[in-house]
Homo-oligomer: A and B are copies of this chain.
Amino acid sequence: MPPWAGPTRWGICSAGKISHDFIIALKTLSAQEHTCPPTVAALLAPPQHSIPQSHTPSTAPSPTAVPTATPILHSTAHPPHNAAPSTCPRTTPHSTAPLFCSHCPQAFWTRFFPVSGRIQTLLAQGALGQVKVVRAAVAFHMSNVPRLVEKDLGGGALLDLGCYCVQFACMVFGGEKPQSILASGFLHETGVDETTSIILNYSRKRQAVLTCSFVVNLPNQATISGCITQGEPTAMLFNGERWECPLPPPSQPLNFERGTGLRYEAQHVRECLLQGLKESPIMSLADSELVASILDEARKQLGVKYTQDQCN
């Protein structure tokens, strides 16, 4: 039996609020299938937030102590995000560091929710007809959060919130590259993007219209033509009927609403490991690259430049 056929032993790279919620989310899954032993929790940075005691390592372990087939949750801020996987062991082809960490586990957790699965099934069945218009918005008033506002932290609504809208459009249009990208919005006084809307035009007269902002709360809905409204990632409307897939209650207080929804992504990673897959069929590396390229173009049109842009 390969080592990854047993319990999936999670490692944590950087301890923050999402890491905390992720561990709570793991606890909603079978303890026989998901574990996060203290000895594999790698802390790149000193913990700023409380991590559930039973999963907190007494000392930061050496990354080389992480056993094989350990998926790593990379919950660093944006600037060290790219470098983080290189600190994790690559001694096994089943380490998820190069497979999932850079795109799956952090940014696009909603793609693994049952609602997203149902949407993809409906799309595949043709139940939505030819999708002509996708509208989505993700906006939270978070102008007091340094991660959103500070340029050196890779701030800006596009990278933190807009990525959810973009990945949703990419999912619905099957990973197709848009024919044109038009972005318009406003910069914050720190030089990062504050509010942005993007119009993506696709082949066959199809369009996605996306909005993100960190200075306002929006209902955070996604609409596919008129057939589906996804009010939140645990509910959707289709043909006038509401379909819900509620989350299990957390065993401890969460930092973020619906934090236990990270469970679906964790379970998906485990299923990929069990099947020996090196790439997620739900969110491929190409999918991540497409989302990143759209966000890059939107940032360029808005005039947001990070230090890292100048290095390239």
CB distance from A70 to the nearest CB of B (A): 39
- Chain B residues lying within 8 Å of A133, measured Cβ to Cβ, are 137, 139, 195, 211, 213, 216, 218
Is A132 in the interface zone, CB < 8 Å from B? yes
- Chain B residues lying within 8 Å of A137, measured Cβ to Cβ, are 133, 135, 223
Is A265 in the interface zone, CB < 8 Å from B? no
Is A185 in the interface zone, CB < 8 Å from B? yes
Q: What is the bound-complex CA distance between A186 and B209, given in angstroms?
A: 14
Residue pair A219, B226 in contact (C-beta under 8 Å): yes
Q: What is the bound-complex CA distance between A57 and B201, given in angstroms?
A: 50
Given A185-B207, A186-B201, also A195-B229 (CB < 8 A):
no
Residue pair A223, B219 in contact (C-beta under 8 Å): yes
Closest B residue to A207 by beta carbon equals B195
Q: Which of the listed residues A133, A135, A219 has the most CB atoms from chain B within 10 Å of its own CB? A: A133
Which of chain A's residues 208-232 have a Cβ closer than 8 Å to chain B?
209, 211, 213, 215-219, 221, 223, 225-227, 229
- Copy number in the complex reads 2
Residue pair A213, B135 in contact (C-beta under 8 Å): no
- Chain B residues lying within 8 Å of A217, measured Cβ to Cβ, are 225-227
The number of chain A residues with a CB under 8 A from chain B is 31
- Chain B residues lying within 8 Å of A207, measured Cβ to Cβ, are 184-186, 195, 197, 211
A-B contacts, 20 of them at CB < 8 A, read A132-B215, A133-B137, A133-B195, A133-B213, A137-B223, A139-B226, A184-B199, A186-B201, A186-B205, A195-B207, A197-B207, A197-B209, A199-B199, A205-B215, A207-B211, A209-B209, A209-B211, A217-B227, A218-B226, A219-B223
A interface residues with partner B (beta carbon < 8 Å): 132-133, 135, 137, 139, 180, 182, 184-186, 194-195, 197, 199, 201, 205, 207, 209, 211, 213, 215-219, 221, 223, 225-227, 229
